[in-house]
């Protein structure tokens, strides 16, 4: 889908509102709120297959470079800078990068790779894979939802779309109720309270 | 009444914990200074390394045989190295499971200074003596150091649990890594319920020692210390991690501005904090004005 920079910017608040809703209302864990929204915009712009191949090349390179950089005991900022350069180089060299890939979150991608490496080391690889698979799934779901809204935005209504997006972020962000995932998580507390009530 | 969810907890934190107090609580070094200035016992600091220049000058031979190094702004046990013995002739240190050379230690410290194990871009390496659990608590487990987490609403303790390591958890008390959560009755200091891998248990899986019904030593002191931490750190809603040391008694390891919610599943009771923002200028009548450092 061809998107102008205005349209991309108009889509971003809507995307982040959707990601926030999955986190705050459904309780789905993603790596940050912006990464899935930016990946969703890339999917919208390039399509699913080119985005996946870019993520595959960038993620693969990063996960190969990250352990080497760790052994060099560099400061974090230096490590991230080298990681960004390595990811850029691999995307250009592999031909995976597309000309239209304006929204592809390169720096965020480097931070994600670093976090993946760290969370794989601390919580185990399966936990890291699950978290990133969920982040990708949310990104693709948000992309599908944004594609449905595209005719409205592409009809040069980008300003009201951005305003609606900001309002949606404020509305979702002020939700203080339980997350759907917490119904299962706090089942022991619910059961105990119910038993206490019955005993009374 | 229902369990406190993350959204509701974050709303409580936004109202009750000022930004400055949160920043302070995330830094162990700052927290220790604030607590100590208010007469709250904390582990001794052996030394602090702030930058690579200090690391080059660092004389590790001055360290005792057993110590711990941790990132001051780390969390979740990341970057903590526990040393249980000195191999001075080999210029090496024994950690649980392996021997670490002097070079590896310096690399680990460089990683801490570079922000590897923290949220920021740099950090401070904090050295403390290795604590030994009170003999009564040490009997509960075969590996690691059990600690006590008390979630407080100002000066009011809401829920308390002991986090007891297992062999499977690698000596760590973290519940998601296989540690045991044991709910403690606030009045008596007695363990009322224990949970391992989300299942209720009565005995420790490694030692077969009965957990439920065990009374923790020096409970009144532990509770009093927990009550005073909010006032000293400026946090209105907080989690206080306390270790009962064999020689020094209860010591505050850490104060958490965003305490986790799993304590509710351990106690099978909900956290019910006050959601009101404290009025300006109102101090607790029980304690003196905090010393801010």
Interface test with chain B among A26, A75, A118, by most B beta carbons within 10 Å: A75
The pLDDT, as a whole number, for residue A99 is 61
Q: Tokens 């609403």 map to which residue? A: B153
Q: Residue A101: which pLDDT band, with cuts at 50, 70 and 90?
A: low
Q: Report phi then psi at B80, rounded to 5.
A: -85, 125
Q: What is the DSSP string of chain A?
A: ----HHHHHHHHHHHHHHHHHIIIII----S-SHHHHHHHHHHHHH-HHHHHHHHHHHHHHHHHHHHHHHHTT--HHHHHHHHHHHHHHHHHHHT---TT-SS--HHHHHHHHHHHHHHHHHH-HHHHHHHHHHHHHHHHHHHHHHHHHHHHHHTT-HHHHHHHHHHHHHHHHT--S--HHHHHHTHHHHHHHHHHHHH-
Inter-chain CB proximity B268 and A188 less than 8 Å: yes
Would you give per-residue pLDDT tens digits along chain B (293 residues)? 689 999 999 999 999 999 999 999 999 999 999 999 999 999 999 999 999 899 999 999 999 999 999 999 988 777 889 999 999 989 999 998 889 999 999 989 988 888 776 766 789 999 999 999 999 999 988 888 999 999 999 999 999 999 999 988 877 788 888 899 999 999 999 999 999 998 999 999 998 999 999 999 999 999 999 999 999 999 999 999 999 999 999 999 999 999 999 999 999 999 999 866 655 544 444 445 555 55
The ipTM estimated for the assembled molecules is 0.78
The pLDDT, as a whole number, for residue A107 is 67
The pLDDT, as a whole number, for residue A167 is 94
Which residue of chain A is at minimal alpha-carbon distance from B11? A176
Residues of chain A with C-beta less than 8 angstroms from the C-beta of B111: 70, 73
Q: Tokens 């100590």 map to which residue? A: B36
User: Does B8 reach chain A within 8 Å, measured CB to CB?
Assistant: yes
Inter-chain CB proximity A190 and B110 less than 8 Å: no
- Note whether B59 and B68 are within 8 A (CB): no
Residues contacting residue B41 through CB under 8 Å, at least 6 positions apart: B225, B248, B249, B250, B251, B252
The pLDDT, as a whole number, for residue A87 is 81
Inter-chain CB proximity A189 and B122 less than 8 Å: no
Query: Is B155 exposed, middle or buried (CB count within 10 Å of its CB: 0-12, 13-18, 19+)?
Result: middle
Q: B113-144 burial by CB neighbour count: b if 16+ within 10 A, else e?
A: bbbbbbeeebbbbbbbbebebbeebeebbebb
User: How many CB atoms sit inside 10 A of residue B282's CB?
Assistant: 7
Query: Is A158 exposed, middle or buried (CB count within 10 Å of its CB: 0-12, 13-18, 19+)?
Result: buried
Which residue of chain A is at minimal alpha-carbon distance from B5? A178
Q: What is the pLDDT of residues A149-187, one digit of tens each?
A: 888 776 667 788 888 889 999 999 999 999 999 999 999
End-to-end CA distance of chain A: 62
Query: Is B179 exposed, middle or buried (CB count within 10 Å of its CB: 0-12, 13-18, 19+)?
Result: buried
CA distance A142 to chain B (A): 22
Inter-chain CB proximity B265 and A185 less than 8 Å: yes
Which residue of chain A is at minimal alpha-carbon distance from B106? A73
Which residue of chain A is at minimal alpha-carbon distance from B77? A122
Inter-chain CB proximity A179 and B76 less than 8 Å: no
Tokens of A41: 């915009």
Q: What is the pLDDT of residues A41-84, one digit of tens each?
A: 888 888 888 888 888 888 788 778 877 887 777 777 787 788 88
User: Does A56 reach chain B within 8 Å, measured CB to CB?
Assistant: no
Share of chain A above pLDDT 90, in %: 24
- Give the separation between CA B157 and CA B224, rounded to whole angstroms: 9
């Amino acid at each position: 889908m061809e998107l102008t920079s205005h349209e991309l910017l108009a889509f971003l608040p809507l995307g982040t509102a959707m990601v926030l809703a999955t986190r705050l209302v459904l309780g789905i864990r993603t790596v940050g709120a912006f990464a899935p929204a930016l990946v969703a915009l890339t999917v919208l712009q390039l399509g699913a297959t080119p985005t996946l191949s870019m993520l595959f090349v960038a993620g693969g390179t990063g996960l190969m470079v990250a352990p080497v950089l760790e052994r060099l005991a560099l400061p974090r900022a230096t490590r991230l800078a080298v990681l960004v350069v390595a990811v850029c180089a691999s995307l250009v060299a592999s031909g995976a990068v597309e000309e239209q890939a304006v929204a592809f979150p390169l720096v965020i991608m480097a931070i994600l790779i670093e976090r993946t490496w760290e969370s794989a080391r601390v919580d185990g690889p399966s936990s890291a894979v699950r978290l990133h698979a969920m982040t990708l799934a949310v990104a693709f779901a948000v992309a599908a939802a944004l594609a449905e809204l595209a005719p409205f935005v592409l009809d040069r209504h980008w300003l009201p779309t951005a305003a609606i997006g900001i309002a949606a972020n404020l509305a979702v962000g002020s939700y203080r109720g339980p997350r759907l995932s917490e119904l299962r998580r706090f089942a022991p507390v619910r059961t105990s309270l119910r038993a206490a009530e019955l005993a009374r | 009444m229902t369990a406190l969810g993350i959204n509701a907890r974050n709303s409580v934190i936004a109202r009750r914990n000022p930004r400055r107090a949160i920043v302070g609580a995330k830094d162990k070094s700052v927290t220790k200074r604030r607590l100590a200035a208010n007469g709250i016992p904390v582990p001794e600091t052996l030394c602090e390394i702030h930058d690579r220049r200090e690391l080059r000058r660092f004389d590790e031979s001055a360290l005792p045989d057993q110590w711990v190094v941790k990132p001051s702004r780390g969390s979740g046990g990341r970057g903590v190295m526990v040393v249980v013995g000195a191999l001075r002739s080999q210029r090496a240190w024994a950690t649980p499971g392996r021997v670490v050379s002097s070079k590896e230690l310096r690399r680990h410290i460089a990683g801490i200074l570079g922000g590897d194990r923290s949220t920021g871009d740099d950090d401070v390496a904090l050295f403390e003596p290795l604590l030994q659990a009170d003999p009564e608590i040490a009997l509960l487990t075969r590996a690691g150091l059990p600690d006590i987490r008390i979630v407080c609403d100002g000066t009011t303790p809401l829920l308390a649990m002991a986090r007891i390591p297992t062999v499977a958890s690698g000596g760590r008390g973290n519940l998601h890594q296989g540690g045991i959560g044991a709910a403690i009755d606030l009045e008596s200091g007695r363990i009322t319920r224990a949970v391992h891998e989300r299942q209720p248990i009565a005995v420790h899986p490694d030692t077969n020692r009965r957990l439920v019904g065990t009374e923790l030593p020096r409970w009144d002191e532990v509770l009093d210390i927990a009550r005073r931490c909010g006032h000293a750190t400026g946090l209105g809603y907080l989690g206080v991690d306390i270790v009962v040391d064999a020689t020094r008694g209860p010591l505050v390891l850490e104060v958490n501005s965003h305490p986790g919610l799993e304590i509710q599943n351990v106690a099978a009771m909900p956290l019910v904090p006050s959601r009101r923002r404290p009025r300006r200028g109102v101090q607790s009548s029980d304690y003196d004005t905090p010393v801010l450092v």
